[in-house]
Amino acid sequence: MHVYLDNAATTPLDREVYETMTTFMLEHFGNPSSIHSHGSKVRAAIEQARKKIALTFNTSPSEIFFTSGGTESDNTAIRCAIQTHGIRHAITSQLEHHAVLHTLEELAKQNVIRLSILRHDAQGNVDLNHLEELLQANPNSLVSLMHGNNEIGNILPIETVGELCEQYGAFFHSDTVQTVGHYRIDLQKIKVHSIVGAPHKFHGPKGIGFLYVRNDKKIQPLITGGAQERNMRGGTENVYGIVGMAKAIELTYKQLDVYANYIKGLKAYMIERLKATFDDVQFNGTSGDINNSLYTVLNVSFPPSEANDMLLFNLDIHRISASGGSACSSGSSIGSHVLAALPNTTSRGNVRFSFSKYNTKEEIDYTIAKLGEIFQMQTA
């Protein structure tokens, strides 16, 4: 058995998405900027995909732009909002994805902005009172806080943050990479100026993403050199990525509640089995709370043991794929910056298991059994 429990890093491609994409790889190959029939057919497919995505999130197609993925979308929203709107102060947290945190830290080093870091509690929940204090003291700030944390599963009260940002005139960007495709997001009900999506997190293709920017907070482009994306992103469009993303969104939201309930059941089952198998097992962030965390993510904290040193390696030997944190940091000797910001995690073994509709209870049972063997070997 080979068990894949690293779905927060990426997910397997849905067969129907693949079939949709291959049509545009092999048959409809025209450049969408060309005026002939080959090009116009592809242009129509791009705009149909844009409309489908806009409809899913209850917004206008004119507010959806296609990018290469979540990282480019985050960079575009942050860098271009700061430049366009003359922003000189930004607020974020230590728990953000590096696409956000490193971008803002770089801009601060260049003296483009002053950067304030929000306080958070022991579970990784940001301090909204501190956010209001910072907003009061710093008009025209940029606030960038992720909707769902990719490592510890915390969910941001995005409606409350949006209200605070509107009250104090801040530009509010949210990295929604882990929640798009897993939660219903109504952009008419959330006071957010920009969000992002990456379909490889919900059985779509890699190398494509979208950026939503509200029409009343338009920004300048990050990539210039062509009139594509209504002058918002130069370069020939990733056509098969775009149509694949739209198909993945269509399939996901068609059965969203069914998938969500199934995956929640798997997560609850794994929590139950872990508690029954290990003494002093803990769960980082809010990931152990089924109803108040990303249902796709479970960050497990094992008690101190020699087995922790090679835990991910030994899981891989047993054909179990999981991670210690963000996939974007894999290969790095530096541990998870998110876990490092939380108390009492560095001396323990921490593994992020993340689930999809393709996982099964049998895979969970196999994983628990192999974990038991790995820790038993060290205590024998």
Convert the pLDDT of each residue in 236-275 to its tens digit: 999 999 999 999 999 999 999 999 999 999 999 999 999 9
Q: In what order do the strands lie in the sheet with 142-144?
A: 64-67, 209-213, 194-197, 171-174, 142-144, 89-92, 114-117
Q: Give the model confidence (pLDDT) of 329-362 as tens digits.
A: 444 435 789 999 998 766 788 999 999 999 999 9
What pLDDT, on a 0 to 100 scale, did the predictor assign at position 307? Answer: 81
d(CA 34, CA 307): 59
What pLDDT, on a 0 to 100 scale, did the predictor assign at position 346? Answer: 66
What pLDDT, on a 0 to 100 scale, did the predictor assign at position 308? Answer: 85
What phi, psi does 143 have (nearest 5°)?
Answer: -115, 125
Fold of 3-11+255-379: Aspartate Aminotransferase, domain 1 (3.90.1150)
Query: Which residues are known to be catalytic?
Result: 328
> What residues have CB less than 8 Å from 157, skipping those under 6 apart?
128
What pLDDT, on a 0 to 100 scale, did the predictor assign at position 328? Answer: 54
What pLDDT, on a 0 to 100 scale, did the predictor assign at position 332? Answer: 40
Q: For the chain, which residues score pLDDT lower than 50?
A: 329-333, 380
> What residues have CB less than 8 Å from 19, skipping those under 6 apart?
none
Residue 266: which region, alpha, beta or left (left: phi > 0; alpha: psi -120 to 50)? alpha
Say whether domain 15-254 belongs to CATH 3.40.800.10: no
What pLDDT, on a 0 to 100 scale, did the predictor assign at position 378? Answer: 56
Q: Which pTM value belongs to this model? A: 0.94
d(CA 313, CA 320): 9
Beta-bridge partners for 15? none
Report DSSP letters for 187-256, one per residue. Answer: TTTS--SEEEE-GGGTTS-SS-EEEEE-GGG----SS-SS-HHHHTS-S---HHHHHHHHHHHHHHHHTH
d(CA 4, CA 354): 9
What pLDDT, on a 0 to 100 scale, did the predictor assign at position 245? Answer: 98
What phi, psi does 128 have (nearest 5°)?
Answer: -70, -25
Q: Give the model confidence (pLDDT) of 79-109 as tens digits.
A: 999 999 999 999 999 999 999 999 999 999 9
Asked if the domains at 3-11+255-379 and 15-254 fall in one CATH topology, the answer is no
Half-sphere CA count of 210, side-chain side, radius 13 A: 30
What pLDDT, on a 0 to 100 scale, did the predictor assign at position 326? Answer: 55
Each domain of the chain, given as residue ranges in start order, spans: 3-11+255-379, 15-254
